[in-house]
Amino acid sequence: MRGMTESLASYLNANQQRHLDELFALLRIPSISTAPEHTADVHRAAAFVAESLKQAGMTTVDVIATDRHPLIYAECLEAPGKPTVLCYGHYDVQPPDPLDLWETPPFEPVIRNGNIYARGAADDKGQMYAHIKAVEALRAVHGRLPLNIKFLIEGEEEVGGASIARYVATHGERLRADVALVSDTALYAEGVPTLCIGLRGLIYLEVEATGPSRDLHSGLYGGAAPNAVFGLAQLLGKAKDAEGRILIPGVYDDVAEPAPAELESWKSLNLDEARYLKEEVGSSRLTGETGRMVLERVWSRPTFEVHGIGGGFTGVGSKTVIPAKAVAKVSFRLVPDQDPDRVIAAFKEWVARETPPGIQTEVRVMNASPAVMVSPDHVAIATAAKAFSEVYGRQTVLIRSGGSVPIVGDLATHLHIPSVMMGFGLPDDALHSPNEKFRLENYYTAIRTVAHFLTLYGG
């Protein structure tokens, strides 16, 4: 097997089924961090992960209570003089709704066409668990680890990660490391070893609109009374032009363009836009800033999205009300060098100015994190690229992700370390959507690749 010793390869082969059974057991736990009714499940998932870390040979394993969901810290520091790698992952998942679109239940993992189908299979249980299994294998085979390992695993990634942010900000000594290993991104395509060197940031907000003091009869008051749902729709509709360019003044002010070399490498990936539209997006056409290629739009350009809107009567049948209230959940994705605070200020100013007459609006900031970039010249990044290339037998490509992994920013800010973003998911894994999947083969390859990286980096 490429990129590993015979002994490691045979251990991994011998333990394939157990490694899969253990992952399935974790996937069966509906650890939906945003849903209060699933708090007990979140705690069960935390306990499961902690037990796995003990079995992997970590000398310290702490389940740390927080204001919301537990953090798990583990370490094995038995390689004096060797570098220290901090492995990050999260055991919480997104809500599975809309449930009726799942072919099989989200928390009953199954193998279909070589894929593991389950909520959290790729984001992030499958990838996080691969780290643990790689460490377990190295220790089982060699009796020791090639370097020092720390794990920090959270249960709030899908709800903003407030607890881990606080922990990282206040435990710099305990978490000290040379580099972080984060597997929460994707391969550019099947079989293409991919390191992510840039992430977009995220500002998540709620906008609430209020019109009349109560729902009104639209016959008796229609024509004279303001409508909260219409007012909110009219406001939000003005945020972008028909193509998708943001019209909120100031949002593009600090946007840094990617380096020409980076742009060139993105072009060389030859994204098949027809396939992307048909197989990934599935709409009648793409939108976005005209004159910029798709990879620019999703990797190096800011966005404004409405994630949900609710107000008035949405039940079965008809109800003729002028709604008093409406709420929308919206976000901005941020790129270098946007400052979240400046964008929030620009949005609040725009909302205040553009809110229609008779409507009151309130903006609530739920969380905010800036974009981050790491240098491909850092030894750990270069070593990760080499390990990846050796396991896959082809050149590692360097990309960005349009998604946000707030922890990467926190680690850079507080621990002053870069993150190796070594992901094993695929673009069509349906993260946050019905029928989320993780390719079975990629689960095993992830274990091999992480083990090989740790071995090479340990020298």
Q: Distance (Å, rounded) from C-alpha 12 to C-alpha 27? A: 21
Report, in Å, the least distance between residue 162 CB and a second copy. Answer: 12
Residue type at 70?
A: P
What is the nearest approach in angstroms of a second copy to the Cβ of residue 341? 19
Closer to a second copy at the Cβ: 371 or 415? 371
Minimum separation from the CB atom of position 37 to a second copy (A): 10
Phi, psi values for residue 210, rounded to 5°? -125, 135
Cα 10 to Cα 4, 13, 15, 31, 445: the distances in Å are: 10, 5, 9, 33, 14
Is the peptide bond between 123 and the residue preceding it cis, with omega within 30 degrees of 0?
A: no
Which tokens in the block code for residue 104?
A: 């099989």
> Least distance from C-beta 288 to a second copy, angstroms?
5
Find the farthest-apart pair of alpha carbons in the chain and give their distance in angstroms, rounded: 81
Minimum CB–partner distance for residue 170 and a second copy (Å): 24
The span from the CA of 428 to the CA of 281, in Å, is: 9
Q: Closest CB to a second copy among 109 and 231?
A: 231
CB 443, min distance to a second copy, A: 20
Residue 148 pairs in a beta bridge with 84
Shortest reach from residue 159's CB to a second copy, in Å: 5
Nearer to a second copy, 141 or 431 (CB): 431
Q: Of 61 and 186, which has the nearer Cβ to a second copy?
A: 186
Q: Count CB atoms within 10 A of the CB of residue 105.
A: 15
Give the residue with the Cβ less far from a second copy, 120 or 146: 120
CB nearer to a second copy: pick between 260 and 357: 357
Question: What distance in Å separates the CA atoms of residue 130 and residue 388, rounded to the nearest whole number?
Answer: 15
SS3 420: strand
Cα gap 264→259, rounded to integer Å: 9
Tokens of 227: 């409508």
Query: Looking at beta carbons only, is 43 or 82 nearer to a second copy?
Result: 43
